[in-house]
Amino acid sequence: MAGARTSAEGHAHAAEVAREIGCAPDDVETVAALLELGVPTRAMRRALERGRLEDAIFDAVLDPERAQRTVTPAEIEARGGLPVAEVQLLMQTAGLPPPAPDEPSFTEEETELFLEVARLREIWTPELGLQVSRVAGRSLARIAHTQVQLFRLYVEPRLRAESGDTLASLPEVHWAFERLLPLATP
C-alpha cells in the first residue's frame, strides 16, 4: 500500500512538472520516467522546446556540468578576464549561442581559461582566439552531431524495438548513451 502511495505521489509530482514545463497531459508518464532517471526539469524543458521530450535524456548526458555553470560573462570581465562582448563573440564564433552578460554560462574551470587568455593578450591576440574558436567549434559540432546521429539511427531504434515500448525503453536508451558517449569523445 505504501508503494502505491509513493507511486501516486510520483505521478502527482510528474503531473506538476509536466504542467510547469508546458507538456500535454499525455506526456506525464514520459515526465515520470525522465524524473525517475534523474533528468533535470530544465533538460526536459529544452527538449520539449525542440519538439521531442524524450530527448531530455541526451541533454542530461551531453551537458552534465550545466548545474556547475555558475559564472556569467560579466563576472569574467569583473575578475580581469575577457570583456563580455569578446566572450560572447568567441561563443558565437564557436557555433554556440552567445550568453547574456548576466547569464550563468561557465564553470570555474572554464572561467580560468578566459582569465588566462586575458593575461596573455600581448602574445595571443583576439584575432587568433577567434580563429581557434571557429575551427574548434566546427570540429566539435561535427563530432557531436555524428555521435548523436549514429546513436539515434542505430542504437536507439534497436533498444526501442527490443523493449517494444518507447517509454519503457527510456532507461536503456539513457544508460547506453551515457556509457557510449565518453568512449567516442575526443
pLDDT at 183: 58
Mean pLDDT of 114-131: 93
137, 94 contact by CB (below 8 A): yes
pLDDT at 1: 39
CA-nearest of 116, 136, 183, 123 to 155 is 183
Residues 100, 105, 109, 115, Cα dihedral to 10°: 0
Name the average pLDDT for the chain. 86
The secondary structure of residue 65, as a DSSP letter, is: T
pLDDT at 85: 97
pLDDT at 28: 92
How far, rounded to the nearest angstrom, does the alpha carbon of residue 63 sit from its chain's CA centroid? 4
State the DSSP string of 85-132.
HHHHHHHHHTTSPPPPTTS--B-HHHHHHHHHHHHTTTTS-HHHHHHH
Q: Grid coordinates representing 167?
A: 517509454
Comparing 75 with 25, which gets the higher pLDDT? 75
- The whole model's pTM is what? 0.62
